[in-house]
Amino acid sequence: MIFFSDRMENVVNQNGEENTRFGVYWSVCCGVEIVLAEGMTFPHCPNHPKLTTYWKSVADEKIPRAVDLTRITKKKDGDPAV
């Protein structure tokens, strides 16, 4: 697990940094997903423009994310089985 978290730290990008790899990125603060082409600059999170925004590549994320779980829960809103 320590190995994995170390690896994850390496793929965090900060707003203002240049993207070196085309892909889908999500904000650590609230999970907003963006598609960013190579050479573009990482933006601020649209929900938190005053904060430093960290972006992680979806492609590098191999474990279920809390964001996804929240999303699934919302989709099943009203389902008594939850």
> Starting from the edge strand earliest in sequence, which strands make up the sheet with 33-36, in order?
13-14, 54-57, 23-27, 33-36
Of 29 and 67, the one with the shorter C-beta distance to Zn ion is 29
Pick one of 7, 14, 21, 30: the residue that binds Zn ion (CB under 5 A): 30
How far, in Å, CA of 80 to CA of 77, rounded?
Answer: 9
Q: CA 74, 80, 82: angle at the middle one, nearest 5?
A: 55
Is residue 72 part of the contact set for Zn ion (CB under 5 A)? no
Max Cα separation, the chain? 46
Could you tell me which stretch among 14-22, 37-45, 62-70, 71-79 binds Zn ion (CB under 5 A)?
A: 37-45
Is residue 29 part of the contact set for Zn ion (CB under 5 A)? yes
Could you tell me which stretch among 12-20, 34-42, 48-56, 74-82 binds Zn ion (CB under 5 A)?
A: 48-56
Residues in the site for Zn ion, rule: CB under 5 A? 27, 29-30, 45, 47-48
